[in-house]
Amino acid sequence: MSPQRAIYYNNFASHLLCAYNPNMYYLELPFRWSDDDWFDLAEMVAGFGFNVFEFWLEPRMFCRESLDSSVGQEYIRQMRLVIDRVHQLDMKAEMIVGLATVGGQWRTLCPGVRPDWEELRFLWRTWVGRFSSVDTVGIFPGDPGACSRNGCTAETYVDRSIDVAQEIAKSHAHIEIDFNTWGPPFFGWGNLVMPPDSQGEFIPEYQHTAWTFTEERTHRSMSHLVKRLDDFPEKTVISINMGFNPDGNPEGNQDARPWVREIARQRPILTWDFSLTEGENAVYPHYRFSRLFERRRQEREAAPYAGGICFTMTPLLNQLSLYEAAQSFKNPSLDPEDVAADFFVMLFGEEGSDLIDGYRLFEVIPDWGCYDAIEMPRHAYHKRMIQFCDALSDLAGAENRDVSFCPSLPAYRRELLWFAKLFSDLSSPCPDYDALMQSYWNRVYRIYDYLPQHVDPRPKRATKRLIAHFADWE
């Protein structure tokens, strides 16, 4: 069997900025990474067992203005260096781009309008040209973004993606195409609600409608994709989850497995299951690995999956999740508890394995993709979090200097300790929730204090939700 593709997908889009993700858009603001930071990161994920580095050219970059702006130039310079570095580490590089959503306001151009389509073709041609050293270009429907105007449907997304893919294959023969079916399927195309006077603006209130599922739409659009598979370039893989819902669950009429098998007869398939490791804007250390490994086993039973993504927006905090995800592709029958023990022993020696009992307590907030949040009496939780703080403090100086880790191991241990202290304070008898909320915001999201209101309000909402979980916990 060929080795599974283990894709490290670092989503550093502008609504996912935080202290643990690179800031690629605001040169004068915090959380910028130096080239060396990037190289350290690449070395770490290669060491964990990933063999593909994937990034999203988000709409803020995927537009005409960013081609020549100082931010765009710096982005291009640094990402090219990163691509070179991951190649040196024997990893491949993949850039994914939403088919039609462009600019800082996440506007979706309509492929059915000639000037819009010409603009999109120009952007695809030019941006792929800027990153011609990638091995794979991924085309995905959007999220954000998609078009229902002027008769656009899911089939439009399939057809126009084939046009783009063919053009890329013609000009860059070495580049493989990764066509993504993300959504119910094909997020938003033909089902996103857009007001009658829409010019393709991003409207947060309507985004959920992109998930509207109907059997009729699914059958029609998936049949169309199957019919047109031959028209994609020879080197094409298809990313498709086992279910047509945000969690990729193969349930009821949203079970995608018959389509997955049908497609796998003609093309290699990958999983793009997004919520297995951390979800979006739930920034704290995660421990949700039984579902991760279970999903890998289900995928292998369902169809000849050739690997897929591990999503992260917190590579400098959730290194354990990355490590677990890489192992899950290599060997889905491993016990995730054993993998976690190996991880902490690798970092801190034999005593490191004692950290798991405390670390797992971080997974306490029900959230996208988290199905087994810790439940226990609040006072018992508080007591165990204090013990976990002690265990982390005791390991000072025990860090293994031979491990490639990013940031440094002492910094990582201190970061875990900070979160353990926060969760311990939040579960104490009479917390000052306002002060703790501010402290969390300052640590994690302070970059948004310097920015105008973002089109996506999720960082604020996520912070309130985290605090509310403890405030509502009797």
Strand extents, DSSP E, 143-268: 176-180, 236-239
**236-239 and 269-271 as β-strands: parallel, antiparallel, unpaired?**
parallel
Strand locations in 51-155 (E): 52-56, 92-98, 101-102, 107-108, 136-140
Nearer to Zn ion, 161 or 271 (CB): 161
- 335 and 300 in contact (C-beta within 8 Å)? no
Six token digits for residue 283: 């920034």
CB of 116 to Zn ion, least distance (A): 8
By beta-carbon proximity to Zn ion, the closer residue of 153 and 463 is 153
Q: In sequence order, which ranges of 131-214 are alpha helices (DSSP H)?
A: 154-171
Stretch of residues binding Zn ion (CB under 5 A), selected from 102-110, 172-180, 397-405, 442-450: 102-110
Closer CB to Zn ion, residue 149 or residue 288? 149
Contacting residue, 17, 61, 95, 147, with Zn ion by CB under 5 A: 147
Question: Would you say 220 and 186 are in contact if contact means Cβ atoms under 8 Å apart?
Answer: no
Backbone torsions φ then ψ of 176, nearest 5 degrees? -90, 150
- If the CB atoms of residues 25 and 106 are measured against Zn ion, the closer one turns out to be 106
Q: How far apart are the first and last CA of the chain?
A: 51
Smallest separation, CB 147 to Zn ion (Å): 3
- CB nearer to Zn ion: give 212 or 353: 212
For 118-140, give one letter per residue: b (16+ CB within 10 A) or e: ebbeebbeebbebbeebbbbbbb
Residue type, position 198, single letter: S
**Residue of the chain from 47, 103, 104, 112 that contacts Zn ion (CB under 5 A):** 112
Tell me the pairing of strands 176-180 and 136-140: parallel
Mapped onto helix, strand or coil, the DSSP state of residue 270 is: strand
Which among 412, 419, 378, 432 has a CA at the least distance from the CA of 283? 419
For residue 10, the one-letter residue type is: N
Q: Which stretch binds Zn ion (CB under 5 A): 119-127, 139-147, 165-173, 315-323?
A: 139-147
Question: For Zn ion, which stretch binds (CB under 5 A), given 150-158, 237-245, 454-462, 465-473?
Answer: 150-158
Q: Pick from 110, 395, 436, 455 the residue near Zn ion by CB under 5 A.
A: 110
Task: Output 76 or 152, the one with its CB closest to Zn ion.
Answer: 152
Signed CA dihedral, 86, 128, 113, 107: sign only: positive
Interface region with Zn ion, contact rule CB under 5 A, candidates 51-59, 112-120, 275-283, 323-331: 112-120
Cβ closer to Zn ion: 17 or 152? 152
Nearest to 272 by CA among 7, 75, 451: 7
Shortest distance, CB of residue 146 to Zn ion, whole angstroms?
A: 9
In whole angstroms, the minimum distance from the beta carbon of 100 to Zn ion comes to 8
Instruction: Please report the DSSP string for 315-356 in residue order.
Output: TTT-HHHHHHHHHHHH-TTS-HHHHHHHHHHHHH-GGGGGGH
Does the protein bind Zn ion through residue 146 (CB under 5 A)?
no
Per-residue contact track with Zn ion, 409 to 448, x per CB under 5 A? Answer: ----------------------------------------
Angle at Cα 381 formed by Cα 380 and Cα 384, nearest 5°? 85
- Least CB distance from residue 453 to Zn ion, whole Å? 27
* Cis-peptide into 144, omega within 30 deg: yes
Which one of the spans 60-68, 147-155, 213-221, 353-361 is the region binding Zn ion (CB under 5 A)? 147-155
The sign one gets for the Cα dihedral 440, 444, 449, 453 is: negative
Q: Rounded to the nearest whole angstrom, what is the least distance from the CB of residue 141 to Zn ion in the complex?
A: 12
Q: Among residues 105 and 253, whose Cβ is nearest to Zn ion?
A: 105
Beta bridge partners of 56: 96
| Residue 192 lies near Zn ion (rule: CB under 5 A) | no
Determine, following the binding rule CB under 5 A, whether residue 150 of this chain makes contact with Zn ion: yes
Q: Min. distance of Cβ 111 from Zn ion in angstroms? A: 6
If the CB atoms of residues 74 and 159 are measured against Zn ion, the closer one turns out to be: 159
Q: Is the peptide bond before 407 cis (omega within 30 degrees of 0)?
A: yes
Least distance (Å) from Zn ion to the CB of residue 151?
Answer: 7
Closest distance between Zn ion and the C-beta of residue 110, in Å?
A: 3
199 interacts with Zn ion by CB under 5 A: no
User: What's the CA gap between 412 and 236, in Å, rounded?
Assistant: 39
The encoded tokens of residue 164 equal 């783009």
> At its nearest, how many Å lie between Zn ion and the CB of residue 193?
14
Q: Is the backbone peptide bond immediately before 332 cis, with ω within 30 degrees of 0?
A: no
- Applying CB under 5 A, which of residues 5, 85, 149, 382 lies at the interface with Zn ion? 149
Q: How many residues bind Zn ion (CB under 5 A)?
A: 6
Choices 106-114, 356-364, 433-441, 454-462; region in contact with Zn ion by CB under 5 A: 106-114
x/- string (CB under 5 A) for Zn ion, residues 52-91?
----------------------------------------
- DSSP count for the chain of H helices, then E strands: 15, 10
Please identify, using beta-carbon distances, which residue of 187 and 344 lies nearer to Zn ion: 187
Query: Is the CB of 147 or the CB of 238 nearer to Zn ion?
Result: 147
In whole angstroms, what is the distance from residue 141 CA to residue 182 CA? 7
The residue within the footprint of Zn ion, chosen from 18, 93, 152, 447 (CB under 5 A), is 152
What is the binding site for Zn ion (CB under 5 A)? Answer: 110, 112, 147, 149-150, 152
